[in-house]
């Protein structure tokens, strides 16, 4: 049983670190602010979710599990707010996104 | 009624976070939770916006669907970053929600799925930036908009 849990944890950590590495590459590679936010969002959702899931497999059912889930919930609620604030500030400074615009933009 | 629900949520959070169940700690928890509820009540913070309990019956269903979407778009964002096929596009979508909380939920859900970000908000219209036309089409089909309106349950 412990072996299965260990294997599940390593799989989760592997997927999580993979998505963080790809997100970090995207942060450098993508063309402008708005595109880079997508890469940061990938780190926020995919990376942290899989890391927390992997840690939950290690703790089993205890109060620490609840705390880990709460960390996940708070990141889940705050990360889109920070992304939106970054994007909105860039728009307020009149930075227009690269690429095509469909229809009238606000 | 809503004050009791807020007290219940705060106090269960206290019990889960502390892990000590002797008389002193629990009574301190009751006192501080009651004080928080009193302050919130005096500041008129306990309304539909501060405590959106009308979401609760359908929330689990929506969250499962949202997690599925986040997983899918994580995969496609990783593909786009590796391939380098980046064709960013900006467009506006109309929203059909009534309350502000539901609009915030919709905007947050768009931002939470990687590949789409809400950049600007005006009355009933969101400006969305997408990494690729595939992500853009996902938002433009209004599937998520319908889901959030259903979650709100006011129509």
Question: Model confidence over B91-129: pLDDT tens digits?
Answer: 888 888 888 888 888 999 999 888 889 988 888 888 899
pLDDT tens digits for range A63-101: 889 999 999 999 988 999 999 999 989 988 888 888 778
Chain B residues touching A106 at Cβ < 8 A? 92, 120, 122, 125, 127
C-alpha A41/C-alpha A3 separation (Å) is 32
| pLDDT-derived band at A31, boundaries 50, 70, 90 | confident
* Mean pLDDT on B40-44: 90
* Three-point CA angle B126, A81, B91, nearest 5°: 25
Of the candidates B81, B151, B148, B84, the one whose C-alpha atom is nearest the C-alpha of residue B115 is B81
> What local confidence, expressed as pLDDT, does residue A98 receive?
80
More confident residue, A26 or B56: A26
Helix (H, G, I), strand (E, B) or coil at B20: coil
Substitution target in A17, A38, A84 with the highest count of B β-carbons within 10 Å is A38
Residue owning tokens 């539901």: B102
Substitution target in B13, B64, B86 with the highest count of A β-carbons within 10 Å is B86
A83 and B111: CB-CB below 8 Å? Answer: yes
Residues 1-20 of chain A whose Cβ lies under 8 A from any Cβ of chain B: 19
* Mean pLDDT on B13-25: 89
Counting one residue from A and one from B, how many pairs have CB atoms under 8 Å apart? 123
C-alpha A48/C-alpha A63 separation (Å) is 19
Q: Quick check: A103 contacting B, CB < 8 Å? A: yes
| pLDDT-derived band at A61, boundaries 50, 70, 90 | confident
C-alpha A21/C-alpha A26 separation (Å) is 9
C-alpha B88/C-alpha B86 separation (Å) is 6
Structure tokens at A57: 């497999």
| CB B111 within 8 Å of CB A84 | yes
> What local confidence, expressed as pLDDT, does residue B155 receive?
65
């Amino acid at each position: 049983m412990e072996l299965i849990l260990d294997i599940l944890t390593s799989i989760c950590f592997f997927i999580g670190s993979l998505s963080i590495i790809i997100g970090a590459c995207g942060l450098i590679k993508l063309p402008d602010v708005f595109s880079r936010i997508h890469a940061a969002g990938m780190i926020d959702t995919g990376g942290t979710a899989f890391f927390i899931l992997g840690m939950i497999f290690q703790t089993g059912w205890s109060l620490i599990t609840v705390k880990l889930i709460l960390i996940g919930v708070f990141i889940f609620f705050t990360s889109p707010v920070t992304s939106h604030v970054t994007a909105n500030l860039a728009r307020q400074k009149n930075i227009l996104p690269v690429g095509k615009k469909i229809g009238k933009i606000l | 009624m809503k004050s009791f629900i807020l007290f219940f949520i705060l106090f269960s959070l206290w019990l889960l976070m502390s892990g000590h169940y002797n008389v002193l700690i629990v009574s301190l928890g009751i006192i501080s939770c009651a004080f928080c509820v009193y302050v919130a009540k005096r500041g008129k913070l306990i309304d539909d916006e501060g405590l959106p309990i009308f979401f609760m019956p359908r929330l689990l269903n929506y969250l499962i669907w949202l997690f599925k979407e986040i997983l899918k778009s994580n995969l496609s964002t990783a593909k786009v970053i590796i391939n380098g096929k980046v064709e960013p596009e900006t467009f506006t979508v109309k929203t059909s929600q009534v309350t502000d909380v539901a609009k915030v939920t919709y905007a947050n859900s768009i931002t939470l799925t990687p590949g789409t970000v809400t950049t600007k908000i005006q009355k009933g219209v969101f400006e969305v930036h997408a990494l690729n036309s595939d992500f853009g089409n996902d938002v433009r089909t209004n599937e998520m908009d319908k889901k959030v309106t259903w979650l709100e349950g006011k129509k």
